[in-house]
Amino acid sequence: MFSLLKYAKKYRFQIILGPIFKFLEAVFELFLPIYMARLIDNGIKKGDAQYVIHTARTMIFMSLIGLICVLICQYFASVASQGFGTELRSALLKKINTLSHKELDELGTSTLVTRMTSDINQLQLALAMLIRLVIRAPFLSIGSVIMAFFIEPKLALIFVLILPIFCIVLYFMMKKTVPLYKKVQKKVDHLNQAIGESLAGVRVIRAFARKENEEEKIAHVTDDLAKAYRRVANISAILTPATTLILNIAILSLLYFGGIKVNIGSLKQGEVLALINYMMQMLLALIVVSNLVVIFTRASASASRVNEVLAIKPSIPEDTLSSYQSVKTLSGTLAFQQVDFRYQPDAGLALQKIDFSIKQGTIFGITGPTGSGKSTLIQLIPRFYDVSTGAISLAGQPITQLPVDELRQAIGLVPQKSVLFSGTIRENLQWGKADASDEECLAALKTAQCLEFVQSLPNGLDTRVLADGNNFSGGQKQRLAIARALIRKPPILILDDSLSALDYRTDQDLRHALKQDLANTTVIIVSQRISSVQNANQILVLNEGKQVGLGTHSELLTHSAIYQEIVASQEERKEQLNEK
Ligand SMILES: Nc1ncnc2c1ncn2[C@@H]1O[C@H](COP(=O)(O)OP(=O)(O)OP(=O)(O)O)[C@@H](O)[C@H]1O
């Protein structure tokens, strides 16, 4: 856990000064009961009004100084803990951004969300408590015992007797609750996952009238979490009556034995009151210490979860490797050489012996039945995953030798599911090229066949895009996503089934425009629709992860049985539709 303190380095000043101020306040608090005893015994009992006023003034002054110390400490604690949380969150986010899809698949989104939110909140709380209580609470509990000895050593033995009993109760309480808190954190993960899935799929859930099932599922996960919390709460609920009982027994003993001593004149009434105050201070401070132990144990579980992510060595390092030709000027053949790929070391091959090359500036089609590995293949080009065996090269250089950032900049990728971000259309296009002018935006929209549509909107490029682009149709979203990918005229443009929501005519016009406007760009079109790939310079046919055909449309029609099957089935379907 302490290794994470490096993210709080900037707040050294607050972390050191905060506890010092809290310590000062504790010193004042420790002396207040003594002043109270003097006020009663020397002032009130003797009717010395002057003494009462003087002592009361000193007590008020001490309390005020104590209050100022507390406020300064709280301020330092909140500045340091919030700052620490922000630094840690940015470091974690930075790390997550370096992880390859393989690591992200293994971790899953929900646990990353929990680690970014509730785990870091837990660590922030621990740091705030460290500043506010870690010196104060032990100091007050030990200081109270010392002060009791200072007032009356024999009665102070009650403190020595009560202390271990109280510690044993707290120890058993913590032994039961700490492991439960670890379980709770895991259940929060499950809840985040369930809620994430439910919100992401809200439309599908409604379309399938599965609202009730989904509500039931969430209720089940929530109930599970509630049960775990209830178990902790049930155990913690015993704590208050138990500690109150011990406290009352201690106070009764002090009153009884103190009363005897007052009667024989060896102790004053004010001193009995001071002893009771010290007893309360000691026990309350011990409760705080036990809470601190719980907070730190939870924080230590959170710290190991955060450290786990921070310690992952990305399988695809982001740093610059060996000498390379700048990708920005790099144009050349993209080649797959005997590529095998599996998602997990123990899983079967998702791609086998893939071997082809694409000349710069040509159009390359990839087709094949569903699940044949088309999306998997194109995800290897920007190194979202690395090949298991074989190699991929760009202009003769293995892509593993190129800086990942530059490689990805050289590729415009339109994924199967178009993703737009909330903002304006212009802002979405500028994701593709930060300094894109209006002319460049309009040109990209024209190539992507959506210029007319954007110009027909009252606010044109300034039209607001809702989260996920929910105010646009599937086809409109796809075309905007294509415009965003091609705005910087990348050397390679990959359209992963990105034409599926377009009608045949628009699909054809778009491919025609791509050929004209991006003559030097290598365009890779992934589609199950033969019409989308049939004019490509080369077509790769995949089936169950294997390369079962490579050539032009006419070559494949004569040589590839699977390609013939796909063409035949689509023509048959066309005929059926025409008949209807
Ligand atoms: N992240 C992943 N982890 C493990 N296996 C995966 C992952 N993504 C895909 N697969 C598996 O890899 C195989 C190929 O999937 P892929 O998505 O590449 O097919 P596809 O040809 O693009 O299919 P479609 O046309 O339906 O999009 C499938 O068996 C799929 O289950």
Question: What is the rounded CA–CA span in Å between residue 575 and residue 155?
Answer: 102
DSSP readout, 338-384? EEEE-SSTTSPPSEEEEEEEE-TT-EEEEE-STTSSHHHHHHHTTTS
CA of 472 to the centre of ligand 1 (A): 27
Q: Which residue's CA is the closest to the ligand 1 atom numbered 8?
A: 376
CA of 377 to the centre of ligand 1 (A): 9
Question: What is the rounded CA–CA span in Å between residue 83 and residue 73?
Answer: 15
Question: What is the rounded CA–CA span in Å between residue 568 and residue 564?
Answer: 6
- 352, containing H or E segment: strand 351-358
Q: Say what the pLDDT of residue 89 is.
A: 94
Ligand 1 atom with the shortest distance to the CA of 416: 27
Q: Say what the pLDDT of residue 327 is.
A: 44
Dihedral angle over CA of 159, 163, 165, 166, nearest 10: 120
Q: Which residue's CA is the closest to the ligand 1 atom numbered 31?
A: 371
Q: Which residue's CA is the closest to the ligand 1 atom numbered 26?
A: 370
CB 140 within 8 A of CB 279: no
445: burial class by Cβ within 10 Å (0-12, 13-18, 19+)? Answer: buried
Q: Say what the pLDDT of residue 322 is.
A: 39
Using DSSP bridges, classify how beta strands 492-496 and 411-414 pair: parallel, antiparallel or unpaired: parallel
Q: Which residue's CA is the closest to the ligand 1 atom numbered 5?
A: 343
The first and second tokens of residue 87, run together, are: 């630094």
Q: Say what the pLDDT of residue 319 is.
A: 52
Per-residue pLDDT of the chain (580 residues; tens, 9 = 90+): 677 888 888 999 999 999 999 999 989 988 898 898 889 888 888 888 899 999 999 999 999 999 999 999 999 999 999 999 999 999 999 998 888 888 888 887 777 888 888 889 999 999 999 898 888 888 888 899 999 999 989 899 999 998 888 888 888 877 887 788 778 877 887 887 788 777 777 766 666 767 777 788 888 889 988 988 888 888 878 877 888 888 899 999 999 999 999 999 888 888 999 999 999 988 888 888 878 877 887 888 888 889 989 988 877 765 544 333 444 556 688 899 999 999 888 888 899 999 999 998 889 999 988 888 899 999 999 888 889 999 999 888 898 888 887 888 888 888 877 778 888 888 888 887 888 888 888 888 888 888 888 888 888 888 888 877 778 888 888 888 889 888 888 889 898 887 766 777 787 887 888 888 877 889 999 988 888 888 889 999 998 889 988 988 889 888 888 888 888 887 666 555 555 5
The reply to whether CATH 3.40.50.300 applies to domain 329-579 is: yes
CB 454 within 8 A of CB 371: no
Q: Which residue's CA is the closest to the ligand 1 atom numbered 24?
A: 370
Sheet containing 397-398: which strands, arranged edge to edge?
Answer: 397-398, 389-394, 334-341, 351-358, 546-551, 538-543, 363-367, 522-526, 492-496, 411-414
Q: Which of 340, 341, 343 to mutate to test the pocket of ligand 1 (most atoms within 8 A of CB)?
A: 343
Instruction: For residue 75, give the nearest of 64, 83, 63 by alpha carbon.
Output: 83
Q: Which residue's CA is the closest to the ligand 1 atom numbered 1?
A: 105
Q: Say what the pLDDT of residue 235 is.
A: 81
Whether the complex's predicted ipTM is more than 0.90 is answered with yes
Ligand 1 atom with the shortest distance to the CA of 379: 18
Instruction: For residue 449, give the nearest of 505, 523, 411, 392 by alpha carbon.
Output: 505
- 286, containing H or E segment: helix 269-310
Q: Which residue's CA is the closest to the ligand 1 atom numbered 29?
A: 371
Q: Which residue's CA is the closest to the ligand 1 atom numbered 3?
A: 343
CA of 370 to the centre of ligand 1 (A): 8
Question: What is the rounded CA–CA span in Å between residue 165 and residue 163?
Answer: 6
Coil, strand or helix at 548: strand
Question: What is the rounded CA–CA span in Å between residue 496 and residue 366?
Answer: 9
The first and second tokens of residue 92, run together, are: 């974690």
**Hey, which residues does 340 pair with through a beta bridge?**
389
Q: Which of 376, 381, 530 to mutate to test the pocket of ligand 1 (most atoms within 8 A of CB)?
A: 376
CA of 252 to the centre of ligand 1 (A): 73
Question: What is the rounded CA–CA span in Å between residue 416 and residue 400?
Answer: 25
CA of 497 to the centre of ligand 1 (A): 13
Q: Which of 102, 339, 374 to mutate to test the pocket of ligand 1 (most atoms within 8 A of CB)?
A: 374
Question: What is the rounded CA–CA span in Å between residue 81 and residue 100?
Answer: 31
Question: What is the rounded CA–CA span in Å between residue 457 and residue 491?
Answer: 31
- Cα 458 → chain centroid: 38
Number of H helices and E strands in the chain, helices first, is 20, 12
Coil, strand or helix at 547: strand
Please tell me the CATH code under which domain 8-310 is placed: 1.20.1560.10
Matching CATH topology for 8-310 and 329-579? no
CA of 186 to the centre of ligand 1 (A): 29
Q: CA dist 477 to 216, 424, 439, 567, Å?
A: 33, 13, 20, 28
Could you state, in order of their start, the residue ranges of all structural domains in the chain? 8-310, 329-579
Ligand 1 atom with the shortest distance to the CA of 344: 4
Ligand 1 atom with the shortest distance to the CA of 372: 21
Q: Which residue's CA is the closest to the ligand 1 atom numbered 12?
A: 350
Its pTM stands at 0.69
Ligand 1 atom with the shortest distance to the CA of 105: 1
Secondary structure in 3-state letters for 243-263: HHHHHHHHHHHHHHHHHHHHH
Q: Say what the pLDDT of residue 579 is.
A: 54
- Around ligand 1, the residues with Cβ closer than 6 Å are 105, 343, 350, 368, 370-376, 416, 528
Dihedral angle over CA of 145, 149, 154, 156, nearest 10: -10
CA of 529 to the centre of ligand 1 (A): 18
127 Cβ neighbours under 8 A, 6+ residues apart: 8, 15, 77, 80, 81, 84
Q: Which residue's CA is the closest to the ligand 1 atom numbered 6?
A: 343
Residue indicated by tokens 């539709």: 577
